[in-house]
Structure 1
Amino acid sequence: MMSDKYLVECNIDDDEDDVKKIQPSPPPPPQFSSTSSLTPCESRDPWGLNKHLKIEFSDVLAEPASTHSSDRVWVYSGIGFESARLWGYRCVTALCAVPLSCLCGCLFALLACMHIWCVMPCIQVFHSCLPCVRSLWMSVVNIFITPFCTSVARCCSGVYVVFSKE
């Protein structure tokens, strides 16, 4: 963000008689969700999922002490960067946010359906059949794999490796 020294303060003197008290509009009814509607003061990233996207002008562009452009170029570059970042994000989200959110919703619905109707029944079947499979696997291990590994270990136990400097 730009530092506060470049901001211009505008004082507006309004008479209290001319100012009409604006009634806040009621929040829209919640649709398609059990959560309340978002107000501007609520955090849209309460768990900090996008901390890595908090980028400022000085994170991207910096001039070393040996070379400096004029102050106006630097200030206008910062303003241009911030404006392009803000308005670029707004334009891209205006075009892509609703379709992508619908796509993500469909994807999560598909994943939930697959998990509920395919994955969990398979896991439950495996859990019910697992004792039989476990006893069969233990038999295979005890009959074939354990004797083989024991004989290989006995053969390799007589091998000695000696390192020497010559």
Structure 2
Amino acid sequence: MADQVDLVNRDPNNINAHLKATFEDVFAEPDGTHSIDCVWKLAFTCFNMCKGFWYKLLTLFCGCCMACEWGFIFAIEIFNQVWILTPHLRLLSIQCAPIQKLWTIYLQCCVGPCCDACGMILNNVRVTHVK
């Protein structure tokens, strides 16, 4: 577990690579259809400033609360996995072990030889396609 938070690379595992939202990812004017240069520059500035301002404002008011909520949800999920699901799966695996052994023996003794015999019979079958 990291002792320090990385303030430069905030998505080291590229979890949110699909959320790339720069001006160039959202707006594009095809060749032959261009707005006036000053409008394009102003739109670029407005987009970046508004996106930055509103994102920072939303994270200021909601970020810590959302982090607490998601921390709580993940704590519940981890608790369920560690204390409920994993022990149940282990219990089920213990209880099903004899059935698994019986089923394996049955398949090897009864079904396996039949499949081997069918395989030997059909081994020399050749399919050709004639036009």
The two structures have a TM-score, normalised by structure 1, of 0.59
State whether structure 2 residue 1 is matched by structure 1 residue 45.
no
Equivalent position amino acid for 1:164 in 2: V
Cα distance per residue 1:109-136 (max 9 Å; x no partner) = 1122112212332344456567644432
> What CA distance in whole angstroms lies between the structure 2 residues aligned with 1:145 and 1:100?
56
Q: How does 1:117-128 map to 2 (within 5 A)?
A: 117-125=83-91
Cα distance per residue 1:55-98 (max 9 Å; x no partner) = 32122212234222112211111111112211232243345423
Q: Which consecutive segments of 4 or more residues in structure 1 shift more than 6 A?
A: none
Higher helix residue share: 2
Q: 1:115 aligns with which of 47, 70, 81?
A: 81
Q: Which runs of 5+ in 2 are unaligned?
A: none
> What CA distance in whole angstroms lies between the structure 2 residues aligned with 1:153 and 1:114?
47
Q: Which runs of 5+ in 1 are unaligned?
A: 1-33
The higher-RCO structure (CA 8 Å, 6+ apart) is 1
Percent identity among equivalent residues?
Answer: 26
> What CA distance in whole angstroms lies between the structure 1 residues aligned with 2:118 and 2:8?
63
Partner of 2:55: 89
Q: 2:21 aligns with which of 51, 55, 64?
A: 55
| Greater radius of gyration (CA) | 1
Cα separation, partners in 2 of 1:124 and 1:67, compared to 1, 3 Å: closer
Cα separation, partners in 2 of 1:113 and 1:70, compared to 1, 3 Å: same
Indicate the RMSD between aligned Cα atoms, in angstroms.
3.2
Q: How does 1:8-157 map to 2 (within 5 A)?
A: 35=3, 42-43=7-8, 45=10, 47-49=12-14, 50-125=16-91, 132-157=98-123
SS at 2:30's partner residue? Answer: coil
Q: Displacement, 1:164?
A: 2.1
The two structures have a TM-score, normalised by structure 2, of 0.70
